[in-house]
Structure 1
C-alpha cells in the first residue's frame, strides 16, 4: 500500500535541494484537508478511491464530527518524479526523488495561531481559494501572516467542479470567475509585498496557479495542457502556456491567434477553447452516460480505465475518469517542486526574520547556508499531545546542524535573554521521530531543512523554544512568533469535586502547552482563568481540558468575560503631584492620549524597546509629530516592558533623577498592568514626568519610598485626563443571499454592531456584508443569526481593533460606569472607583 519506506525518506533528508516544507492555508471550508488527501494518496498512504473523503490530516474525533480542521497536522511524503516531468526544472536538485513535509492547517479564524505555528517552520504555502466564494477575510489574514514570515505562496483555485455541475457556467463566465479569484489574491499579496522576496504574485501562465476539484481528486495547471498541445501541434511549450491565459483568442476559421476578440462566432479565448471546453465535454459525456463517445476520446487522451471501472455511472464515473486524466496530485506536486523554494534557498532570505542575534555570527551563517555540519539551530513551534496521557512531542524544524537521539541540547525558552540563566535548560533528546498524520516513525537523526518531532523535552518547553548544542553558549534564540489574533475571551474554571483540584492544575498546564494561543492564569481571587481567541476556540479548549487532560473530571465554567483596556481621552487638566510616604520626595506628572496609530505601531514592534533609538526618534518625529529631543527621552514602555503605553521625561535640570528611574519604571509597570478604574491593562497613554523634588540623602529616596508614590501619581494623572474604557471589537464577515439581509441587520443592531460594507458577489446571488461587532456582544451571535436567517448566513469573526466606549465611566449611571462596576464586582473589588483624592497630594 505505502509506496515508500522510512529509509528512503531518511536518505532524501540529506539532499536539502530536494526538500519542500510547505503548509496548506485557506479560509474555513475552502477544501484544504480534502485537497491534501489527493497528495497523501499519490504518496500511497491512502487509497486513491477514498481520497477526498478520508481527510487523513484531520486526526481528532471532533475534527471529523465538525468537518473542520482544528489542529495543524504534519505529514512527510516521498515522491519520485519522472525525467519528463523535470525537463524544464531550472533549480538545483540531486536525483529525481523529492521529500515534501506538508502541514495542513485550520481555516477557522479562532485557530489562526495554529497557522502561525505552521508557517514558521515551512518555506512555501499552498493557498486554497474556493472559486465561487473567492478570497475571504481569513484568506487575507493567513496570506498576510505567510508574507510576514517570508513564506512564498502558490495558489490553488478549488471546487472548480461547481462551475461545471452546479452553476453550469459557459467558458467565458468561468474564465472571468477564475481571473477574479487570481486577481483578488494578487491584490492581497501586493499589499503586503516584501522587497526581499521579489515578485510573489501568482500567474496561471507561469504555472503558479492550479485549478482543482479536491473532492473528486482532479486538477490541472496550464502546464498540463501546454504540454499536451505543444506535442500535438509541435509548438514551443512556453509559447503555448502564454496563450492559454489572458487576452489570447484563436479563430478556428482563419487559424490565427489575436489579442483582441474579432467578433466572429469562430473566435474563442485560448483558455476557454483549449482547457475549459475539453473538460466540460468529458464531464458531460460522463454525466449523460454516452459511453460509446467517451471511450474513444479517452483513448486519444491516453487515459486507460481498469475493466471494473467501466461499469461506474454518472458522478462515480466522472470522478474516476477525471482522476485518471488530470490527477490533482501531479498538478500540485509539479507546482510545489517547480515554484516553492527548497530550505537551501529559503533560509538565505528568511534568516533576517528568524534569528534574533547578529546576522554575521556563525549561527546566522549556518542558518543562511542550511549547513548540516554547522551548530544545531532548531525551533520548536508547537507541542503535540502524545497518545500516552500527559506526554507531549516537541514539533519543530531544524534550521542548521542535525538533531539525533540522545543528543544533549540547550533549551532556550521565550523569556531567555543571552548571557542569563533564566528560562534555560540542558536536557537530552530521548527520541527523534518524523510525523506521518496519525502515526510517527522513529529515525536515528534528522538533518537541517526538515521538520522533526522529539520526545523527552516536554517538561521544559511550555509552547515554543529554540534548541542548540549543549556547548553553544553564545547562540541567540530564534525570534518568537507573532499571532494575528489575541486572547480576548476568558472564563473562570472551578472543580465540581474539590478533590479534583490537583487534576485541574495539571490539566491547565497541559492545555497551555498543547495550544499555541491559549493563556491560563490565576486571578487574585484564586480562580483559574482560561483566555482564548473566540467562542469556538474556547469551547474546544474546555473540551480538551476535561476529556484529554483531566481524564473526564467535571468542572464548572463561569460565563465568558471579555478583557477591556483603560485609556485617556485628553491631556490632564492640571499637573498632579504625589508625595512619598516619608513626605521628602514629590513627583509631578501629566497624562495624555497617544497620537492616532502610535499604540498600533508599538504593538507591531515598529516602535518599541527593541528598535534602535535613532530610528525610533526618527519615526516619532516624522510620522507622529514628536519633538526630536523629546523622542530621545522615553524612559520605558509598558506593561511588560513592551506594551502600548510610555513614560517620557520632560524635566529640566533635576538632581538625582537618574537614580530613581528604576523605581519609577517599576511603579509604571504596576500601574499600566492594572489601571485605576477597573484593574484592567492601560493602552495608548503617554505619561510625562514634569518635575521631581528629591531628598538629598540617598537613603530617603529608595525603592520603598518611590515605587508606591510613582504608582499613585500615574493613577492620579490618568483620572485627571478624562479616563475611558476601550473594548475589543471583532470584524465580522457574513455571506448570505439577498432575502435574509434584513435579518442580518436586525441581529447586528440588537448587538451594537454596525455595517460598513455590503457588496454583491459577481456571478452569484450572494452578498458579502462586513461589520464591526463588540466582542462583549458576540456570545451566542451565531445562534441568533442562524435563527433570524434560517441558517443561510455564515459569519466569520476576527479580532480587529480596540474601540473607545463613548460614555464617561466616572459619571454614575452611564453604561461605562455600569460596565466598570460589573468588572470590579467580578474581581472582588469595591464597586466604587477609588477617588482621585486617594492618589493626589496637596503641597
Structure 2
C-alpha cells in the first residue's frame, strides 16, 4: 500500500449481463481469494442475497488484491516505472443495470482506470455507452475486455474471418465513443484502444480463459526469434501471412491468411473444438506444441470441465487482464497529476491541491468519501473513499466537510471535527482492519457515518476546499409512499428510512402531506430498495403505495398580462410576468454546465439563447434549491431593488418548489420582476410583507402563461430477433411511445430498437414485452429527457387535468386549482 507506483485502482464497468462479475472471479482466484475451480460460477463479488437470487450486481463492491508479477511482464512499463514485482489492485465491481448506475458513478470517483467489458455477440449497448461516458468525464482511462468469445465459435459457428470482423466492429464502436467524449489531445495520453498495443483482451469469463496479443506475440517471438512488439503489430489489422513463402503483405494475395486468424484464432478454435469433443489425445498433442502439459487428474475430467481446465492451463483469463491493468492503466502517482484539476474545487496552487497532484504521503490528508457501506454493526456504516494525499492513522484529528460546506462563508455549516478511530480495507463482503492507510488507496473509515449523509471530503488542512460532488446520469423519477402496518413500528420506519438514505447514493426521502415518500430511478431500483428497507434497515413489515411518477410544472407561452400583487399592509407592490425558457437551457442548468462567472454567463446566454445582455446580467437566482432549471430575472429600470432582492428570491424559491397546479416543482420557467413599488421605511418592507406578495405574483404569472405539465421519458433499448420486431413496436406504440432507430449489427441475427417511452406508461412494460415476444425481447430503460404532457391542465376531463386532480387528491389539496384572479390585486 505504500508503493504508490505499484498500485492500480480500477473499476469493472459494462452493460448488464456482459460478464463483469464472472470475469472478476478469475482475478480473485489468481489472488487466492477463491478456489480456481469456482472462478466463473461463484460470482464472489455479488455479496448480497438479492444479487445471487436475481443474477445481477446491485451494489458496487470493492476488494483489494495482491499479485506478484513476472519480471518479464512488467519490463514493458513505460515512464511510470515500478517499485518491485508486487502489485496491489484495488478493484471495484460495479452494476450494469441502468437503475443502479449511481453506484457506477460513485465507483468511478474512487478509481483511475476502468476495464470496459463488452459481449462479443451483443456488442456495444446503451449502458456501455453511458458508463464509458461517465468514465471519460471523470478522466478515467479505459481498457477493453471482449467477453463471451466462445459464443462466436460454438453458438454462432462463425469462420475466423467473420469473428475478426465482429471483433473489429466492436473495437471501432468503442473507439467512436471515446472519440466523442474525449479530446484527441487528452490529458490522459493516448486513450484509443488497439489490440496491437495490448490494451484489448479477448476471452470467456464463464470458462475462465482469456488472452491479449502480447501472450501470442511472446509465444511466436521465441519460436521465430523476432521481437515481441514487431509481432504484436502484425497480429491485428490488414497484415496477411503466406505459410508457403513465409512472407507478410499488406494486401490479401493467393495462399495468404490474415495474421490474427492464422496465428491466434485457428489454434484457439482447434484446441476449443478438440477439448469440447473430449478428444484428449489431440488436445494433448496440440498443447505440447505450445509448451503446456496436462496432469493425470486433468485427463480424468469429462465434457465442459475438461475444456475449461485445458483453456485455463493454456490461457488463464487473469493473466490477460492483469497484463492490461498493470501495463496500460495509470498508478495514482500518474493519474492524480491530471485528475486533481477536475476534482478539487479550491485554488490549484494551495497546499492540498499540490499534495494531491503529487500523491504526497507527507502532505495534508485529502480524502473523498464516495459511498456508505452497511457494516456488521446494526445501523452503522463504513465510509468508503479514496485517499488522494497524506495518510490516515489511529487517533488522527480531522475536519469532515459535507457537500454544502463553503470555506468562505461566515456560517461554518456542514463542517465537523472528529478523531478517527480505525481504517479498514474493503474485501468484498468483509473487511480487514489496518493500522495505517497511505494516499493512493481505497479504504473504509468507521465513525464518520455520524457526520456525513452520502458523501463528503475529509482533510487535516484547515483551508481545504471540497472535492467535487458526484453528478448522476439518472434522475429519481419514480416515487412510492411507504407506511407501517403496526403503528408502534413508526419509529423503526423513520430510522430505517434514514439508514436507507445514507446507503443509497441516489435515493431521495421526503415527506408529503404526512406520508413518507421514497424516490428511485425505476421499478427495479424501487423494488430492491424497499425490500432492503423492510428486511434490513427498518426490520418491520411495511405497506407500499403503487409507484407514482414525478411530474414537473411549466409554462408554454408568455403571460398575457403583467401580474400585480400588493403586500398585506398595502404599502408595497410587485409586478411580474412569466415566460418559457429557450429549449435546451433547462438541460444545461441541470447538468451544471452554465458558468458561474456573471459576465461570461451573460455573454453566453445572449449569443446562444438570444437573451437581452442587460437582463442576462441581472439573473437573481436559479430555483428550486438555487440550482434548479428555473430563473428569476430583474428587468426593472431605474428602481433600486436591492432592498427586497432576498425576499423576492425566497418567494420565487417557494413557488419553484411547489407550483400552482399541484405543488410539483417547476421546470423551464423564467420569471421577470417587471416593476416594484417599495416603501421607504424598512419596517414596512420586511420579508413577512414581500415574500407572500412575491409568491402570489409568481403563482399568478404562471397561471396566466398557459401552464402545462412535463413528464419524464425513458430511452428504451431492446435487443430482439428480427421476427418479433413488429410485436415490440406495437407494445411501445400502445403505451404512447415511439421507435426512433433500428440498428442491425453485422453478422448478428438480433436487431436493436431504440425508442422513447413515457415513464408513467413503463410500469409492467418489461413483463408485457416478454409475454408478447415469448421471452425473446428484454428492454433496458433509462431516464432520457422531459417532454410536454399533451392536454391543458385547466380544461376539465383532459389527460393533464386528470393527472393534476390525482396528484392533488394524493397530497390532500383542494381539488380546484386557484385562479389567477383570486391571487392577483388590481391597481
Normalising TM by the smaller chain, what interval?
A: over 0.9
Instruction: Provide the secondary structure at the position in 1 that maps to 2:73.
Output: coil
Counterparts of 1:298-309 in structure 2, within 5 Å, are 298-309=287-298
C-alpha distance in structure 2 between counterparts of 1:62 and 1:799, whole Å? 24
Deviations for 1:763-795, whole angstroms, at most 9, x for unmatched residues?
122111111111111111111111111111111
Picking from 62, 77, 96, the partner of 1:89 is: 77
Give 1:66's aligned residue: 54
Give 1:267's aligned residue: 256
C-alpha distance in structure 2 between counterparts of 1:64 and 1:779, whole Å? 24
Instruction: Provide the secondary structure at the position in 2 that maps to 1:493.
Output: strand
**1:354 Cα deviation (Å)?**
1.1
Deviations for 1:773-822, whole angstroms, at most 9, x for unmatched residues?
11111111111111111111111000000000121111112111111111
Give 2:698's aligned residue: 714
Is 1:772 matched with 2:760?
A: no
Is 1:594 matched with 2:581?
A: yes
C-alpha distance in structure 2 between counterparts of 1:103 and 1:508, whole Å? 26
**1:743 Cα deviation (Å)?**
2.0
C-alpha distance in structure 2 between counterparts of 1:375 and 1:715, whole Å? 50
Picking from 143, 147, 154, the partner of 1:165 is: 154
Give 2:435's aligned residue: 444
C-alpha distance in structure 1 between counterparts of 2:283 and 2:629, whole Å? 66
C-alpha distance in structure 2 between counterparts of 1:463 and 1:295, whole Å? 55
Is 1:250 matched with 2:233?
A: no
8 Å contact 2:284–2:294 — kept in the other structure?
no
Picking from 631, 641, 645, the partner of 2:626 is: 641
**1:116 Cα deviation (Å)?**
0.6
Note the residue ranges of structure 1 that are not aligned, 5 or more in a row: 1-12
C-alpha distance in structure 1 between counterparts of 2:472 and 2:90, whole Å? 23
Instruction: Provide the secondary structure at the position in 1 that maps to 2:440.
Output: coil
C-alpha distance in structure 2 between counterparts of 1:805 and 1:657, whole Å? 37
Picking from 516, 520, 536, the partner of 2:505 is: 516
Give 2:688's aligned residue: 704
C-alpha distance in structure 2 between counterparts of 1:289 and 1:378, whole Å? 54
**1:736 Cα deviation (Å)?**
1.0
**1:618 Cα deviation (Å)?**
2.5
C-alpha distance in structure 1 between counterparts of 2:470 and 2:312, whole Å? 39
C-alpha distance in structure 2 between counterparts of 1:18 and 1:622, whole Å? 49
Picking from 403, 409, 415, the partner of 2:404 is: 415
Give 2:279's aligned residue: 290
Is 1:571 matched with 2:555?
A: no
C-alpha distance in structure 2 between counterparts of 1:760 and 1:334, whole Å? 34
C-alpha distance in structure 2 between counterparts of 1:292 and 1:445, whole Å? 54
**1:421 Cα deviation (Å)?**
2.1
Instruction: Provide the secondary structure at the position in 1 that maps to 2:12.
Output: strand
Give 1:3's aligned residue: none
C-alpha distance in structure 1 between counterparts of 2:63 and 2:246, whole Å? 48
Counterparts of 1:4-15 in structure 2, within 5 Å, are 13-15=1-3
Picking from 502, 508, 518, the partner of 1:530 is: 518
Instruction: Provide the secondary structure at the position in 2 that maps to 1:596.
Output: coil
Is 1:230 matched with 2:221?
A: yes
Instruction: Provide the secondary structure at the position in 2 that maps to 1:682.
Output: coil
Picking from 735, 738, 758, the partner of 1:751 is: 735
Instruction: Provide the secondary structure at the position in 2 that maps to 1:675.
Output: coil
C-alpha distance in structure 1 between counterparts of 2:398 and 2:490, whole Å? 34
Deviations for 1:678-736, whole angstroms, at most 9, x for unmatched residues?
10111111111111122222221111111111111111111111111000000000111
8 Å contact 2:365–2:392 — kept in the other structure?
yes
Give 2:542's aligned residue: 555
Picking from 579, 584, 596, the partner of 2:571 is: 584
C-alpha distance in structure 1 between counterparts of 2:661 and 2:434, whole Å? 57
8 Å contact 1:30–1:130 — kept in the other structure?
yes
C-alpha distance in structure 2 between counterparts of 1:511 and 1:159, whole Å? 36
Instruction: Provide the secondary structure at the position in 1 that maps to 2:8.
Output: strand
C-alpha distance in structure 2 between counterparts of 1:208 and 1:627, whole Å? 51
Instruction: Provide the secondary structure at the position in 2 that maps to 1:379.
Output: strand
C-alpha distance in structure 1 between counterparts of 2:553 and 2:86, whole Å? 58
Deviations for 1:217-257, whole angstroms, at most 9, x for unmatched residues?
11111111111112211112211111111111112233221
Give 1:239's aligned residue: 230
Picking from 72, 76, 79, the partner of 2:67 is: 79
**1:296 Cα deviation (Å)?**
2.4
C-alpha distance in structure 1 between counterparts of 2:722 and 2:666, whole Å? 42
Give 2:342's aligned residue: 353
Instruction: Provide the secondary structure at the position in 1 that maps to 2:643.
Output: helix
C-alpha distance in structure 2 between counterparts of 1:637 and 1:289, whole Å? 69
Instruction: Provide the secondary structure at the position in 1 that maps to 2:72.
Output: coil
**1:297 Cα deviation (Å)?**
2.1
Cα root mean square deviation, aligned: 1.2
**1:126 Cα deviation (Å)?**
0.4
TM-score by length of 1: 0.96
Give 1:816's aligned residue: 800
**Quick check: 291-300 or 154-163, which moved more?**
291-300
Picking from 162, 173, 176, the partner of 1:187 is: 176
C-alpha distance in structure 2 between counterparts of 1:345 and 1:87, whole Å? 18
**1:585 Cα deviation (Å)?**
1.4
Instruction: Provide the secondary structure at the position in 2 that maps to 1:730.
Output: strand
**1:749 Cα deviation (Å)?**
2.1
C-alpha distance in structure 2 between counterparts of 1:368 and 1:682, whole Å? 41
Counterparts of 1:831-842 in structure 2, within 5 Å, are 831-842=815-826
Give 1:378's aligned residue: 367
Picking from 589, 609, 612, the partner of 1:624 is: 609
Note the residue ranges of structure 2 that are not aligned, 5 or more in a row: none
C-alpha distance in structure 1 between counterparts of 2:468 and 2:267, whole Å? 50
Deviations for 1:463-485, whole angstroms, at most 9, x for unmatched residues?
1111112xx32111111100001
C-alpha distance in structure 2 between counterparts of 1:677 and 1:755, whole Å? 31
C-alpha distance in structure 2 between counterparts of 1:636 and 1:197, whole Å? 36
Q: Which runs of 4+ in 1 moved over 3 A?
A: none
Give 1:213's aligned residue: 204
**1:615 Cα deviation (Å)?**
2.1
**1:742 Cα deviation (Å)?**
2.3
8 Å contact 1:648–1:686 — kept in the other structure?
yes
Instruction: Provide the secondary structure at the position in 2 that maps to 1:84.
Output: helix
Give 1:199's aligned residue: 190
Give 1:8's aligned residue: none
8 Å contact 1:24–1:125 — kept in the other structure?
yes
C-alpha distance in structure 1 between counterparts of 2:144 and 2:128, whole Å? 11
C-alpha distance in structure 1 between counterparts of 2:41 and 2:228, whole Å? 35
Instruction: Provide the secondary structure at the position in 2 that maps to 1:85.
Output: helix
8 Å contact 1:286–1:313 — kept in the other structure?
no
8 Å contact 1:432–1:455 — kept in the other structure?
yes
Instruction: Provide the secondary structure at the position in 2 that maps to 1:640.
Output: coil
Picking from 667, 671, 675, the partner of 2:655 is: 671
Give 1:151's aligned residue: 140
8 Å contact 1:566–1:726 — kept in the other structure?
yes
Give 2:677's aligned residue: 693
TM-score by length of 2: 0.98
8 Å contact 1:491–1:529 — kept in the other structure?
yes
C-alpha distance in structure 2 between counterparts of 1:838 and 1:83, whole Å? 81
C-alpha distance in structure 1 between counterparts of 2:634 and 2:22, whole Å? 58
Picking from 331, 336, 352, the partner of 1:342 is: 331
C-alpha distance in structure 2 between counterparts of 1:651 and 1:197, whole Å? 48
Instruction: Provide the secondary structure at the position in 1 that maps to 2:71.
Output: coil
C-alpha distance in structure 1 between counterparts of 2:283 and 2:750, whole Å? 36
**1:571 Cα deviation (Å)?**
1.3
Picking from 450, 459, 462, the partner of 1:468 is: 459
Give 1:56's aligned residue: 44
**Quick check: 290-299 or 638-647, which moved more?**
290-299
Give 1:541's aligned residue: 529
Instruction: Provide the secondary structure at the position in 1 that maps to 2:690.
Output: helix
C-alpha distance in structure 1 between counterparts of 2:48 and 2:394, whole Å? 28
